[in-house]
Chains A and B, each alone.
Chain A
Amino acid sequence: MMKGGWFRVYTLGYLIFLYAPIVLLPIFAFNDAAVIAFPLAGFTTKWFTQLFDEPALRGALANSLIIAVSASVLSTTLGIFASRATTRYKFPFKGGIMGMIMLPLVLPEIILAVALLVVLLGIGVPLSLFTVILGHVLVCTPFSIAILSAAFQALDGSLEEAAYDLGETPISTFRLIILPLVMPGIISSLLITFTISLDEFIMAFFLAGTEATLPVYIFSQFRFPQAVPVIMALGTLLVLSSILLLSIAEYFRRRGIAKTGGKDTGGFL
């Protein structure tokens, strides 16, 4: 075997482990049998038709979309403020404050979810889509800050000074110079937090009350064997839309870097 041969085998094995289950999704989504097993029984699109006829699922999808849009907009807005503050200003306990904001990134989500549940019930907030949105903002904001502070960091501070120097106010400078230059980061943050919120399970499970989100609905459907192919069809659609969203996010991130003439120093993809 040639040099690096074992490394190739390892890489191949790794990729198969990672992607084979995802590849199975569309295969069984179009398979004409209620049992998930080989050999395949034939081609059908009936699982997709069933999928769109299911009112509970449509409700869950609508819930998830409402939550994901709200959470991504809120967490990105908070992310803009925090990133601007942390890259531009010095203030006391900056490191500690930023660390606290970024903490949900590493805390077990179930701990956060249980803690939030206890607090919300304790102060008498009824569980609803709103409480899920709160939980998702908590989880999404650190991601938003990670993306946006890179975008703000890449901004040359003298661009702002140049705009003041040429007669602009701080507000018009933000609108004319800073916002357009960090816009790719904002779009990227919106898309990524949207994706995170859309498939988040634990927070939604604990905080949604009677309103199921899409992942919670999927989980509950696994109790019924006959529903599994429908879930496969749904999974296929979700994988496709996730790939699409992340690609768009990455496209904007790279374009932003090219536009400001910076160097690519990594990112999510």
Chain B
Amino acid sequence: MTFSAEKSNMIEFKDVHKYYGDYHALRGITATIKAGEFFSLLGPSGCGKTTLLRTIAGFEGISSGAVMIDGKNMEGVPANKRPTNMVFQSYAIFPHLTVAENVGFGLRKDPRSAAEKAKAVTEALEMVGLKGFGNRAAHALSGGQRQRVALARALILKPKVLLLDEPLSALDKKMREQMQVELIKLQRQVGITFILVTHDQEEALVMSDRIAVMFEGEIAQLADPETLYRRPNSRKVADFIGTMNFLPAKILSEADGKVEIDAQGFGPITLNAEQVSGAASSTGASVGFRPETLTILFDGQTAPDRESMAVVEEVVYYGDMTYYDIKLDGSDQPIRLSMRNVFGRPVLDIGTRTRVAWAPGALVVFR
């Protein structure tokens, strides 16, 4: 992550609404994306993230509100006149052209000489790791290679914003992880604002400076990955990002920036007010925590903060990690706990009673 004191606003959404007939696809999106940022739109399918991306590219009009790019209102500006370029989910490589012709496609109206354009194409191919691929037929490329061609084709135009529509979803896991790292490096190298659409929360966490989590046409939370993971502002966001345990809780009192709660399995605890989030719900409050914030205590280990007793209900062994489903004493709901496996330490059996360490600071309360 890079920080500078004043980054200009590259994209501004001002109360953007989008209707398809009666269907309200975007419900008042207001957000700002900074110049040079790696920004992700994350959400389940149908949440409007791709629609929002396409309003930046100019492929979708908006029903009301405004989309600004670099301070200019984009209303009425067609896709071919916007300072953005897109990497499509299907890559959209022109199958009848060679790799070099694909990459150089956007330079058709460029006033530079043919030799200079060819040089730019060679450089772009080199940048994405496809040196020497220029004369290949585009339809003979593998998925990963197509993606690189799509990247080179978009970046050669030096857009202000690069839009990526689920660019990694068609790749296998290994290739995807490799491309994630390459995309991050590429973004730092070129310094262009990247906006990524993804439904993969891990991908968003790994790659982004900031993430907007979207549900049903609205931004539920916009934050950096760490805040999103540690302080999700609703149960829905918490559920979507990683794994989170929930136990029923009662809010006893709130005063002077402190909140007293009584949570099942944990008992009465005092927390800081910023650990409480969400609007009051009818289903009652709950306390949420990540699996790795609980630790099983083995003989001779002591808890740095709090300690409770629990019973192991289920064991899932992953090699480097073991997942335990445990029940805290005083709770009737199983919760998941993850432990990094250390050489020489046994994996507990089902039914074992064990001590568990936890910390009030790692808890989040949802009203």
A residues within 8 Å of B by Cβ? Answer: 156, 158-159, 161-169, 177, 180-181, 259-261
Contact = CB atoms under 8 A, between A and B. Distances in A.
Nearest to A258: B139
B92 A167 contact: no
Contacts of A167: 80-81, 106, 108-109, 157
Given A168-B80, A259-B139, A261-B95, A163 B90 contact: no
A260 B88 CA distance: 17
A162 B88 contact: yes
Contact of A158 (B80, B88, B108, B139): B88
Interface string B116-151: 000000000000000000000001000000000000
B86 A165 contact: yes
A177 B94 contact: yes
Given A259-B95, A259-B96, A156 B157 contact: no
Contact of B79 (A159, A161, A259): A161
Given A166-B157, A180-B96, A261-B139, A158 B90 contact: yes
Contacts of A261: 95, 139
B109 to A, nearest CB: 6
B139 A164 contact: no
Interface of B: 57-59, 78-81, 84-86, 88-90, 92, 94-96, 105-106, 108-109, 139, 153-154, 157
Contacts of A164: 58-59, 78-80
B139 A161 contact: no
Contact of B80 (A165, A259, A260): A165
A164 B58 CA distance: 10
A169 B80 contact: yes
B89 A158 contact: yes
A260 B140 CA distance: 10
B85 A166 contact: yes
B108 A159 contact: no
Nearest to B89: A158
Given A164-B79, A166-B80, A167-B157, 10 more contacts: A156-B92, A162-B94, A162-B153, A165-B79, A166-B85, A167-B81, A167-B106, A167-B109, A259-B96, A260-B96
9 contacts: A158-B88, A165-B79, A166-B85, A166-B105, A166-B106, A167-B80, A167-B108, A167-B109, A261-B95
Contacts of A156: 90, 92
A161 B80 contact: no
A163 B88 CA distance: 11
B92 A159 contact: yes
Contacts of A180: 96
Contacts of B85: 165-166
Nearest to B137: A259
A165 B83 CA distance: 9
B229 to A, nearest CB: 33
A156 to B, nearest CB: 6
A156 B108 CA distance: 22
A62 B251 CA distance: 95
Given A165-B79, A165-B85, A168-B80, A181 B105 contact: no
Contacts of B95: 181, 259-261
Shortest 9 CB-CB contacts between residues of A and residues of B: A166-B106, A162-B92, A158-B92, A164-B79, A158-B88, A261-B139, A164-B80, A260-B95, A167-B80
A53 to B, nearest CB: 48
A162 B86 contact: yes
A162 B105 CA distance: 10
Nearest to B153: A166
A163 B86 contact: no
A181 B96 contact: yes
A161 B89 CA distance: 12
A102 B199 CA distance: 42
Contact of A159 (B78, B94, B157): B94
B88 A161 contact: yes
A34 to B, nearest CB: 55
A7 to B, nearest CB: 39
Contacts of A177: 94
A251 to B, nearest CB: 17
Contacts of B109: 167
A37 B74 CA distance: 81
A88 to B, nearest CB: 14
Nearest to B85: A165
A158 B88 CA distance: 7
Contacts of A259: 95-96, 139
Nearest to B104: A166
A167 B154 CA distance: 11
Contacts of B78: 164
Given A166-B85, A168-B80, A259-B139, A161 B108 contact: no
A161 B92 contact: yes
A163 B154 CA distance: 11
A220 to B, nearest CB: 48
Nearest to A181: B96
Contacts of B57: 161, 165
Contacts of A166: 80, 85, 105-106, 153-154, 157
A163 B105 contact: yes
A233 to B, nearest CB: 43
A245 B85 CA distance: 44
Contacts of A162: 86, 88, 92, 94, 153
A159 B89 CA distance: 11
A152 to B, nearest CB: 15
